[in-house]
Copies of this chain bind each other. A is one copy, B any other.
Amino acid sequence: MSETLFATLQQLLGAAHVQTSAQAAHYLTDKQGRYTGHVIAAVHPANTDEVAAVVRACAALSAPIVVQGGNTGLMAGATPDASGRSVLLLLDRMNRVRNVDTDNDTLTVEAGCILQNVQDVARDADRLFPLSLGAEGSCTLGGNLGTNAGGTGVLRYGNTRELTLGLEVVTAEGEIWHGLRGLRKDNTGYDLRDLYIGSEGTLGIITAATLKLFPLPKAQATALLAFDELAQAVAFLSHARAGFGASLTAFELLSADCLALLRDQFPQGPQPFKTANQPWFALIELSDNHGENHAREAFEHVLGEAFEQQLLSDALIAESLAQSDALWLLRENMSEAQKRAGQNMKHDISVPISQVVAFVAHTDALLQQHFPGVRHFTFGHLGDGNLHYNVAHPLDSTVQAHMAHYAQLSALVHDSAHAHGGSISAEHGIGQRKVGLLGRYKSAVELDLMRRIKQALDPNNLLNPGKVLEVQP
């Protein structure tokens, strides 16, 4: 069967665009090196018709199809299983910009485009495409859509879902849904678009999207703020939302321990608030459509009010683009700083913003009780209630001993997020890493609804099986 399919795929795409499992080895292990799969073939179709033909060929022989973008996901959602029965679909040749429409403020691009390239195309048209995340230099738009990626711009612009107006999708039957609409309003039936977004390739294969563009800000202002307690940071966020409105485009939390870690791991890097004793910091950004002076005035006005109302303990305002970049570097280096310091347990949780303080206090205390001495490196997108609640080994223990407790410790964190009205995966998705957890946090009613939708759109469970949802054969 697999030889027949391999030959068919070569006929459809040309031999140069079909690889064996061995040739495709570097696609077959997830970014964090936790899972490795095997495939019948890895294929690189040139266009949507070829994607549809590949799907039909696979469906005819009941071969599962796994689609992969930049392989930057953290949940191994794009890594095939080890059965060797699947075909891996790579859209790297589908990276065309199909349309830029500045009057409509939309951009239509293929799913294989690297996110940074999409940002650049928008900028060249004097527009902003605001999706921004650490992996933007290598992740693809298709992956962003499949996982409904978040990042640092969600506070103002929303997740990938909110940035998308239309989709082109290949169905499990290898048909093409031409849904590339550039409309702000269209109430003509069920919202297929949002069903495909975030479904991690399990309901259909997204091949192109029509995205929203925004005016490029004329100026930005950045500051690192210090808070005496987390509750003060939350209160300041409310104040800043009221004062800045939609101009508040980032609100990234960092604990004092995160700043200390950055100093340790990047001794040549920026060293703000080196001697401060506040426990919490936030990097905030204001985007202004008037200009430098206006941005600065608005910034100083709102920060001034906050000082008066004791919503703020200290502030370091960037005086230049270089200083602003240096402050952002802190946030951007967090992931690497943790990696250098040794493996730790990462949790991508969200709770209502009003529950952040209670969640952190409760969970920190709980972990100290069960795992005395573990170290908390909590940071993330406070403006979205999304914390990267990461936990490192006690200094009197080892990484290895610590990581042995992963399941047990993570269950406490996830239970706590859930108990605070939150989510166990704010922006990273489910993939295969968290698929076993859904039964614990979703009701039977919700899981059943999800299974019915999966069954309706992919009745033979051929699209990225084993991801998002455990499907009984």
Please give the residue numbers on chain A whose beta carbons come within 8 Å of chain B beta carbons, in ascending order.
101-106, 147-148, 150, 154-156, 158-159, 161-162, 171, 175-179, 181-192, 194-195, 197-199, 203, 214-217, 234-235, 238, 241-247, 287, 289-290, 298, 301, 350-355, 381, 383-386, 421-430, 434, 438, 441-443, 445-446, 449-450, 452-457, 468-469
Contact = CB atoms under 8 A, between A and B. Distances in A.
Contact of A289 (B192, B198, B243): B243
9 tightest Cβ-Cβ pairs between the two chains A and B: A246-B246, A103-B354, A456-B456, A194-B194, A245-B289, A185-B426, A186-B423, A184-B384, A104-B352
Contacts of A155: 184
26 contacts: A102-B238, A105-B238, A147-B187, A155-B184, A159-B184, A171-B449, A175-B445, A177-B445, A181-B423, A183-B385, A184-B383, A184-B386, A185-B350, A185-B384, A187-B426, A188-B438, A189-B198, A189-B430, A189-B438, A190-B199, A190-B454, A191-B191, A191-B194, A194-B195, A245-B247, A452-B456
Given A187-B430, A197-B191, A178 B247 contact: no
Contacts of A427: 185, 187
A153 to B, nearest CB: 12
How many copies of the chain does the oligomer comprise?
Answer: 2
Nearest to A215: B242
Nearest to A290: B298
Given A101-B352, A184-B385, 16 more contacts: A103-B352, A105-B238, A161-B194, A176-B445, A178-B445, A185-B423, A185-B426, A185-B427, A187-B427, A188-B423, A188-B441, A189-B438, A190-B449, A190-B468, A215-B242, A245-B287
A147 to B, nearest CB: 6
Given A187-B147, A189-B469, A425-B188, A449 B177 contact: yes
A223 to B, nearest CB: 18
B154 A185 contact: yes
